[in-house]
Amino acid sequence: MTQLALFDLDNTLLPCDSDYEWGQFLARIGVVDSQYYAKQNERFYADYKAGKLNIHEFLRFALKPLSEHSRAQLKEWHDHFMDEVIHGQLREKALDLVKRHQDAGDLCCVVTATNSFVTRPIVERFGIEHLIATEPATVGDNPLADFTGEVKGIPNFREGKIERVAAWLASQKLALDQLPCSYFYSDSMNDLPLLEKVSHPVATNPDARLRSEAVKRNWPILELFA
């Protein structure tokens, strides 16, 4: 029987937030107004950590730069971002955690609120085939067309993760409540809805609120970057 291993990405498999770092990178290379963008980026990141992020307001902000440049230009910048920022954030303990599940034959998937343009190349570095992320809308139906700056479908955030995971599993002819064993690794209290749905929730490098909740519920706490 299939066992499932779900992983959040930012501050879970990575010791940083890729969405925040991408914004800082764009500001550093002058693609966006550095003072304004950095200030807004900090505000949204603080709201996220405090559990009060307005996801739709944030996505309008985060996806706007994608709509202002060609896919070829964005890829060139993202390649530099991977080399300059992400490569140095890949940690052996996180890679080993994923590999243990893969070696056990588990179905592995990253489930992240960060958009798929930013995260897919990162997830590929972990050798994980499946990604459920917030999807940026593209012009027409062509997934390789330029971005519109809008969101396609449901943002993959909080309760949205449950809906998106259920739809993905259905496409695999699976259902969460029918699996013998399901893991979800996350650092954030924002992921409590999905953590409550799996058979094996694991608070991974947890923020203060999730750590307290994990202790209360007797959930395991995993420190990958200590």
Query: Residue 114 has what DSSP assignment?
Result: E
Q: Could you tell me the CA-to-CA distances from 120 to 10, 23, 117, 127, 139 in Å, in that order?
A: 13, 16, 6, 11, 19
Rounded-to-integer distance, Cα 159 and Cα 149, Å: 23
96 is catalytic: no
Amino acid at 139: V
Q: Catalytic: 187?
A: no
The secondary structure of 155-201 as a DSSP string is -SSTHHHHHHHHHHHHHTT--GGGSSEEEEEES-GGGHHHHTTSSEE
Q: Buried b / exposed e across 152-180, counting CB within 10 Å, b at 16+? A: eeebbbbebbeebbeebbeeeeeebeebe
C-beta separation of 59 from 134 below 8 A: yes
Closest Cα partner for 21 from 71, 73, 67, 88?
A: 88
Active site positions, annotated: 8, 10
